[in-house]
């Protein structure tokens, strides 16, 4: 079975049923914040332990991707969950359990260009499994904040940090729109999957770029980047061919591109 029913369904959910993605994202974030606020510390500890156990139970450590020096806990064809339906999945939309082609290209780029990141402050927005953030730490970034509104993604990132002997800061807040004044680099791996969300990112990225932040986008040619006005502000830095398995799993995508957002200033 080349394209897992499970992953394909996740992909379809992401690409076709995501017209309310930004609102959904926010509501997930709000639900998470409320849940944390109402949790006693023992409940919170139990949540983290359960989540860690579930992640370890349902994933395997994989290096079968464009950045094999980074070990990642992922749902792969070796995992029963790969073949099961979403009803049997104990996670809510586990995007963190897949290493997206745009993220793979961006991470490869970081590992290949350590001088661009050494000593810098990095924010990986929508970090998923955390690969790009981990690469940033590996090449000597001064600080790295791995951000994803899915709290389970953050637990997965913490497991992946340990696997790769790096330390990262993590946050599950919705940081899009935050007025950063001293951030060196923002990383966005495969985040252009919805029109409204792309518009929102575009506004924020313009502001960040005007303040001197370098913005790097990894994308495999998704329509909401390719056909969005933001495309005219992007300079292509690199083109990576995806591994065969990744091509098959992503239904026709063949390459991952790394773009830099150009400030008008
Ligand atoms: C397609 S996945 C990409 C993951 C990773 N960057 C990669 O390339 O493998 C998109 C990720 O963005 C996260 N996400 C969605 N909206 C977000 C938001 N407003 N802030 C932070 N993360 C968000 C999702 O939970 C998901 O993990």
| Chain segment 132-158, per-residue pLDDT in tens | 999 999 999 999 999 999 999 999 999
What's residue 150's pLDDT? 97
* Ligand 1 atom at minimal distance to the Cα of residue 218: 8
Q: What is residue 17's predicted lDDT score, i.e. its pLDDT?
A: 34
Whole-structure pTM value: 0.87
pLDDT at position 18 over 80:
no
Ligand 1: nearest atom to the Cα of 106: 8
CATH code of the domain covering residue 90: 3.40.50.150
- Cα(142) to centroid(ligand 1), Å: 23
Confidence check: pLDDT of 163 > 90 = yes
User: How far is ligand 1, taken at its centre, from the CA of residue 257, in Å?
Assistant: 17
Pick the closest to residue 139 from 168, 180, 105, 160 (CA basis).
168
Residue of 11, 29, 212 lying closest to 97 (CA atoms): 11
Mean pLDDT across 82-86: 87
Tokens of 19: 């017209």
Provide residues with CB under 6 Å of ligand 1: 25, 95-96, 99-100, 102-103, 125-129, 147-150, 153, 174, 176, 189-191
- What is the mean pLDDT of the segment spanning 241-259? 95
Number of domains in the chain: 1
Residues of the domain holding 148: 1-265
pLDDT in tens, 67-77: 999 999 999 99
């Amino acid at each position: 079975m080349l394209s897992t029913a499970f992953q394909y369904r996740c992909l379809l959910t992401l690409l076709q049923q995501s017209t309310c993605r930004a609102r959904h994202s926010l509501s997930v974030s709000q639900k998470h914040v409320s849940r944390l606020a109402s949790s006693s510390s023992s409940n919170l500890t139990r949540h983290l332990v359960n989540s860690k156990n579930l992640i370890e139970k349902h994933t395997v450590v994989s290096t079968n991707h464009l950045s094999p020096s980074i070990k990642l806990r992922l749902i792969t064809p070796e995992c029963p969950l790969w073949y099961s339906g979403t009803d049997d999945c104990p996670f809510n939309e586990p995007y963190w359990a897949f290493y997206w082609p745009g993220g793979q290209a961006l991470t490869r780029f970081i590992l290949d260009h350590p001088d661009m990141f050494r000593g810098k402050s990095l924010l990986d927005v929508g970090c998923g499994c955390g690969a790009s953030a981990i690469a940033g730490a590996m090449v000597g970034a001064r600080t790295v904040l791995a951000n994803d509104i899915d709290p389970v993604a953050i637990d997965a990132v913490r497991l992946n940090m340990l696997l790769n002997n790096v330390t990262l800061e993590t946050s599950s807040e919705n940081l899009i729109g935050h007025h950063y004044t001293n951030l060196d680099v923002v990383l966005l791996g495969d985040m252009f999957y919805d029109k409204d969300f792309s518009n929102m990112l575009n506004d924020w990225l313009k502001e960040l770029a005007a303040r001197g932040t370098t913005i790097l986008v990894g994308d495999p040619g998704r329509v909401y980047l390719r056909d969005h006005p933001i495309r005219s502000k992007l300079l292509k830095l690199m083109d990576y061919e995806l591994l065969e398995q990744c091509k098959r799993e992503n239904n026709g995508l063949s390459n991952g591109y790394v773009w830099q957002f150009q400030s008008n200033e």
